[in-house]
Structure 1
């Protein structure tokens, strides 16, 4: 009689502690719980800790994140605290031997961001930043579509992230909204910009731009134009990419990608062979993002939005903001 090998049981997910159980932290906690990866939380607010206990039962809940880091059953940490605290908290996590997922932006300054990226590498730890749009299935599909040459060489990128949003008193619209699109550009082009130009307007508060235009130039002559604002009457989330052999649009609100077989040739004659939706689907980017993080922790693999990728985004945002601050008053 031949013995039948029993199916191999999947490895249990890494155990994750979440620091910060506020608005976005609750989303992380809920998804990690469903993935079987939630081990503990830490939040200085008793009300937040009580709310999590009500939803998830007897879960270790600490007032101080340093208590959470002392838990040896925790493999990794997800950080959802105010951006101003990221450097201190993430550094403590890395020095405690934990892999780290932290919400974007990585830090408020390039020096701090690069320091964390280098520390993670020195410690052999995973450091991943929550650039959520990089885990939207349509963006992944679009990257492959561009690589296939379907619209020829990319010549320009145009993005809008507009709406009547929640104004901030500690960061401008570029840091709050445009960081999503800057990350998407870098991911799709796999390149860093060679020139940066930013203009903006402070309408509600001094030194906080509510409306920003960011213009970037990339190697090979590619240029991009981003308009982001939280003071706008209509909600728009669009991406247009113009190539030498066609164009493509991504409607983030409806999760559709449309291929436009049109353009203007070298004789300045218009060509229009119609358009079709070539991708349509709704994913769960936060769930996919956290699954990617858990896999990177378990398999010790590089992650899509690692420390170096994310530090470069912080550097870009800081350079653009410096231009905004030094612009003459209008």
Structure 2
């Protein structure tokens, strides 16, 4: 039976949306919504004046220095929560009080307990709660799933996934201090396992069903509070697949262009996301970058999603959420899925704490 909130959306006019937090990923969501048919971005909020200026320049109708004020003063249908993780729970509570559906940037929360409370808040207020887990929206990952589902490689006893990104300190030498919260495990919920691993958990359960965490180790390549490397051994009982997951936020000289590698080792062949990358990935990136530069001189609109396909996945995830609430459906990636990734992460942290605490070296990455 459909939950009560699904009866609220009957107006055929454009969905009125606000963006709470317009830093790096918040601007991605803002630009996605601005390019989306049937969506009006009426307001954006951020504590940083520079971010508010960027949001206004991009097309946000009004800006606020506080997300609570925005939710109190604007008549919204939905809000994107792109704030630091330590503010997610409060933002969802404020949105619930205003009767506003929410699409929350991952991780949904800092802990499983916090996520459970957010899910209950949304349920009591009859609002929709979605989570931005985007790996399942990337075309290469969709290609892997389609090839796996057609059974051409047979049983897959082993799989591996590696996801990498820049550390908050940026390229060496770090000449500017990063924001404080990404370096604080209490504010962010953890280190690289929370930043990157939750995406991998979501993708792997999308492929193989429920996962069991069998072992884990965490490490630091820098003298920092949270781990910047995590390796987790997983098993999918339904498919009898053993999976090795590694994620790292390293202070790279140069980050690999393709930062997620997925391989399924089947009994009759191997499936790799590399084989499903768009054929024009590099040429298309260069063309989009040149087009964006030219648009600054011609007054045209830049390609919101160039120069990489990663931003398109964020667009598709948000569009799916907006379509769901508009069509009186459950969000395709809801709060329970966001909670599940945090449960797996917490189990990994617990197992790692029981180990010897050995530090990890960054993996060699072929580009």
Q: Given the two structures, how large is their TM-score scaled by the length of structure 2? A: 0.73
1:200 pairs with 2:218:
yes
Alignment correspondent of 2:232: 214
Q: Contact 2:216/2:351 (CA < 8 Å) preserved in 1?
A: yes
1:63 to 65, 87, 104: 65
The unaligned stretches of length 5 or more in structure 1 are: 1-9, 257-280
**Shift in Å, 1:252:** 8.7
1:89 pairs with 2:91:
yes
Alignment correspondent of 1:40: 43
Alignment correspondent of 2:158: 156
| Residue-pair matches, total | 295
Alignment correspondent of 1:298: 326
Alignment of 1:45-194 (within 5 A): 45-56=48-59, 59-71=61-73, 73-162=75-164, 165-167=167-169, 168-170=182-184, 171-189=190-208, 191-194=209-212
Structure with more helix by fraction: 2
Rounded Cα–Cα distance in structure 2 between residues aligned with 1:45 and 1:252 = 41
1:247 to 270, 275, 289: 270
Relative distance call for 1:225 and 1:97 in structure 2 (3 A) is same
Q: Given the two structures, how large is their TM-score scaled by the length of structure 1? A: 0.81
Q: Contact 1:94/1:125 (CA < 8 Å) preserved in 2?
A: yes
Please give the per-residue CA displacement for 1:174-197, whole angstroms capped at 9, x wherever unaligned: 1112222111101112x2213331
Rounded Cα–Cα distance in structure 2 between residues aligned with 1:82 and 1:320 = 22
Relative distance call for 1:110 and 1:21 in structure 2 (3 A) is same
Rounded Cα–Cα distance in structure 2 between residues aligned with 1:252 and 1:17 = 38
Structure with more strand by fraction: 1
Greater CA radius of gyration, 1 or 2? 1
Which stretch has the larger CA shift, 238-247 or 80-89?
238-247
The SS at the match of 1:15 is strand
**Shift in Å, 1:92:** 1.7
**Shift in Å, 1:72:** 5.4
**Shift in Å, 1:107:** 0.4
The SS at the match of 2:130 is strand
Q: Contact 2:143/2:276 (CA < 8 Å) preserved in 1?
A: no
CA RMSD after TM alignment: 2.5
**Shift in Å, 1:327:** 3.0
- Structure of higher RCO (CA pairs closer than 8 Å, 6+ residues apart): 2
Rounded Cα–Cα distance in structure 1 between residues aligned with 2:242 and 2:135 = 20
The SS at the match of 1:251 is helix
Please give the per-residue CA displacement for 1:17-73, whole angstroms capped at 9, x wherever unaligned: 11112121111111211224311112222332233223327x222222222222453
The unaligned stretches of length 5 or more in structure 2 are: 1-10, 170-181, 185-189, 280-307, 359-367
Rounded Cα–Cα distance in structure 1 between residues aligned with 2:43 and 2:72 = 11
Rounded Cα–Cα distance in structure 2 between residues aligned with 1:62 and 1:289 = 25
Alignment of 1:5-44 (within 5 A): 11-35=12-36, 36-44=39-47
